[in-house]
Each structure stands twice: as structure tokens, then as C-alpha cells.
Structure 1
Amino acid sequence: MIPLPDLIAIQEELARRVRIARLEEPPRLVAGVDAAYKNGVVRAGVAVFSWPERRLVRRASAEVPEEFPYMPGFLSFRELPALLGALGKLPERPDLILVDGQGIAHPRGLGIASHLGVITGIPTIGSAKSRLIGEFREPGPERGSWEPLFYRGRRVGAVLRTRSGVRPVFVSPGHLVSLEDAIEFVLGFCTRFRIPEPVREADRISRFT
């Protein structure tokens, strides 16, 4: 395995290449990605939806050997090989990717969504079920309420209520999107559930049968 100081150096170098800015144009194809593990294998699922119709148009999956252990803050080194394999099976590149994980809301500003965005050049958004870093105030109970997530004085994401009266999700821009974009698309794909539908579908695809 790569020594820890080298992993940190890789993240710090890639984090310098992250760009946070408004989407240049509305996406047409939005993918969700997720991964699962079993018996030394990582299985990634990708689900592509049309926007703004929110219609599922494509599925793909890939399996690779699990070669990296679980380490908080280094999820991308464990999951990216499988995610890239699944994305590579799509006939057309998505315009935006929703990732089950963090974007810049990460100790070194390079969660899995940011890492994936930098190496693919595709805009990415992190949508996580729990907080990795940062401080926040609880958002209001209504759907669409949100509060900023701060880390070391910097706004790195949002704590977003995607369903009224349900626990919020932790949203952060990954690469080539703004926080406003991230909130818009996560909320836009949470029409029935707490988790964005592309990520929910990717989770289903990634499960071992």
C-alpha cells in the first residue's frame, strides 16, 4: 500500500486542481455512483438519469479486486478504480455526477467527489449521509431548508433537508460546480426519498446478489 504521507501528498496536490464555480450550462445526463464490498471485491454501480425529466436512461457496473483498506478520509483510493470502470462502460459521458460521499468537505479538500471530478474532468457533487468534518447549525424542519457547513472558517458545504422532518444530508461541491448547484441538483433529485434518486439507484446496482 502507498505510505500514508504519500497518500496525503497526492490529495493535497489534487486538491489544488479543484475548481468551484457555477455550472457552465445545464446538464442533460446526470449520473449517480456508489460502491459496495464483498469477499475482497469492490462493485461499483452507475445510474444515469435525464435532466430535467429525471428519467433513468442507463445503468452500468464494474467489479475490481479490493486492494485498499478502509481508512476515513481516503475513500477514493478504495472505490475509484471500480467507479472509473463502471463509468467507462457508458456509451456517453454524463454531464454531472452525484457521488455518495464528500466533495470539498474533507480535511484536505479532496473527498471522493472532488477526486473523481479532477481526474475525469466531469462536474461532480458530493452527497453524504453523515458528516466527515465541519460545524453547522441544524437546518429548519421543512424540505429545502439548509445551513452552511464550515471547516476552519471556510464554507465547504451545506446541511440540506431533502424531506420534511427527516434527517438532513451533507452536500458539498466536488469539482466544476458551485455550492448553489450542489444544493439545486441534490434537492431536485430528492422527489420521494432522503437520498438523490441517481445515488439510490447506483446503490441498488452496486449490491451483490
Structure 2
Amino acid sequence: MKLHELHSWDLSPTEAVALQRKLRREVVSDRPIPLENVHVVAGVDVSVKDEMSRAAIVVLTYPDFQPVETVLATRPTPFPYVPGLLSFREGPVLEEAFRQLGTVPDVFLFDGMGIAHPRRIGIASHMGLWLEKPTIGCGKTRLVGHYGSLQEERGAAAPLMDHGERIGVVLRTRTARNPLFISPGHLADIDTAAELVLRCAPRFRLPEPIRAAHNAAALGGPSSRV
């Protein structure tokens, strides 16, 4: 798959923050995904263990989630753990994996944040600029923002707000289970991102593409993603 190579990954944390502030102006987070044209979706995840990172991209048909392609890439973890800078820790190994893709998915679902990020450029937004395709952030825990009450049934949703700005949606994909924190990455908007995630999670809390990527990325036993 061809990528839009934006920058070097060889940056300090201070330089990475400055780059995020620059790139955030290029992120498009108000464009509805044309869901009627979505036929192929990809899940993206990275596992880290013993300072080695493995990226997995699993491509599935939509809406029946049949396997199309799986690519893996493994390399030493190049960047320290710094809250809000996940894309610089995982970006290099993801770039390597994306370049192996023979299929071009219609949408990428990331195990990580989109614009629900302190500088509005989580990993789904950042890598979306490299991919130039619609991307969605699916966070398992809240990174930033606040929300009100959320009903227990599947499909319940509440706006995720930060400083008066709606940055995503808190979405319960399974009744009485912890919700997900959904936000557009790039070339997407909040409402269609949430709708697609819910459609991609017919049985489990995590959307099928992300579940498949998480399983493929596992580095031989218990792994951590930070």
C-alpha cells in the first residue's frame, strides 16, 4: 500500500509534541464516512513485549467479516512510553506493516485514539494522514474529556466533551460491559465513526477487526499495549 510519508520518526518527545501541534491542522474530522460504500475494513493493533513491537493489520470483508489479508511487522520499540505520544512509539512498526498491504481497505479501525486526544491527534488521526484513508479511533479507556450518564444497553451513547468541544462518543457495544471511546481519526466524523464501530461489534465488546488484529499482534504470551 502506498503511504504519504510525512516525516521522520527519529524525534525527541519535545519535537514529537511540536509536530503533533503542526499536523493537527491537517486532520479532517468532520467528513461523514459513506457507509454504503464500505465493503472492506481493517483492524490495526500493536503489541509491545520486552521492548519489541509487533504490528498487525487484519483486513476483513464488511459486513460479514470474512478474512481477506493479515500482515505483521516486528521491530524494536523505538520510543519511550509518554502519554499522548503513542503514535511515535508505534508508528514505525505500523508504517512497515502498512507498506506490506496488498489490499486497500475502505476504513481502518485503530486500537487507540483519534481526535479524543489532548492535542486532537491520537494514533488513528496521525496514521490517517499517512494512509490518506478514513480512520477511526477505538479507545478502551478514556484519555481525555468527560461524559454524563450512560445507559446499560448495547448501543447506548453519550457525547465525549473536552473544554466545550465534542471530541467523540462514549459507546456501549455490549450490554452491561464497559464502553468504548470512539472518535474520528482522519477523513471521518463522530457520528458515522460510532455507527460503523457498533455495526462491527455484533457479538463482543471490541469490533471484529480490532479483535482479529489484537489476536494477530500477540507476541507469544501475555503482551502489553501502552
Match of 2:25 in 1: 16
Give unmatched runs, 5+ long, in structure 1. none
Alignment of 1:128 onto 2:131: no
Quote how far apart the aligned CAs of 1:52 are. 2.1
CA deviations 1:105-150 (Å, max 9, x no partner) are 0000000000010121011000011000001013111100100000
Match of 1:57 in 2: 68
Distance in 2 separating the partners of 1:174 and 1:50: 21
Which SS does the other structure have where 2:215 is aligned?
Answer: helix
Match of 1:142 in 2: 153
Which SS does the other structure have where 2:168 is aligned?
Answer: strand
Quote how far apart the aligned CAs of 1:40 are. 2.3
| Residues 67, 156 of structure 1: alpha-carbon distance in 2 compared, 3 angstrom cutoff | same
Distance in 2 separating the partners of 1:97 and 1:173: 11
**1:155 counterpart letter in structure 2:** R
Deviates more, 1:192-201 or 1:46-55: 46-55
**Given the alignment, which residue of 90, 109, 115 partners 1:79?**
90
Which SS does the other structure have where 1:16 is aligned?
Answer: helix
Determine if contact 1:138/1:159 at 8 Å carries over to the other structure: no
Match of 2:210 in 1: 199
Give unmatched runs, 5+ long, in structure 2. 1-9, 221-226
Match of 1:41 in 2: 52
**1:150 counterpart letter in structure 2:** M
Match of 1:100 in 2: 111
**2:150 counterpart letter in structure 1:** P
Distance in 1 separating the partners of 2:74 and 2:34: 33
Determine if contact 1:129/1:170 at 8 Å carries over to the other structure: yes
Distance in 2 separating the partners of 1:53 and 1:84: 27
Please give the TM-score of this superposition, normalised by the length of structure 1. 0.96
Distance in 2 separating the partners of 1:128 and 1:169: 6
Match of 1:89 in 2: 100
Distance in 1 separating the partners of 2:200 and 2:34: 20
Distance in 2 separating the partners of 1:199 and 1:165: 20
CA deviations 1:142-172 (Å, max 9, x no partner) are 1001000001110000000100111111000
Of all paired residues, the percent bearing the same amino acid is 43
Alignment of 1:162 onto 2:173: yes
Distance in 1 separating the partners of 2:124 and 2:167: 13
Alignment of 1:151 onto 2:176: no
**1:199 counterpart letter in structure 2:** I
Determine if contact 1:41/1:66 at 8 Å carries over to the other structure: yes
Determine if contact 2:152/2:172 at 8 Å carries over to the other structure: yes
Which SS does the other structure have where 2:142 is aligned?
Answer: coil
Match of 2:201 in 1: 190
Please give the TM-score of this superposition, normalised by the length of structure 2. 0.89
What's the Cα RMSD here?
A: 1.3
Distance in 1 separating the partners of 2:120 and 2:129: 12
Quote how far apart the aligned CAs of 1:24 are. 4.4
Q: How many equivalent pairs are there?
A: 209
Determine if contact 1:32/1:202 at 8 Å carries over to the other structure: yes
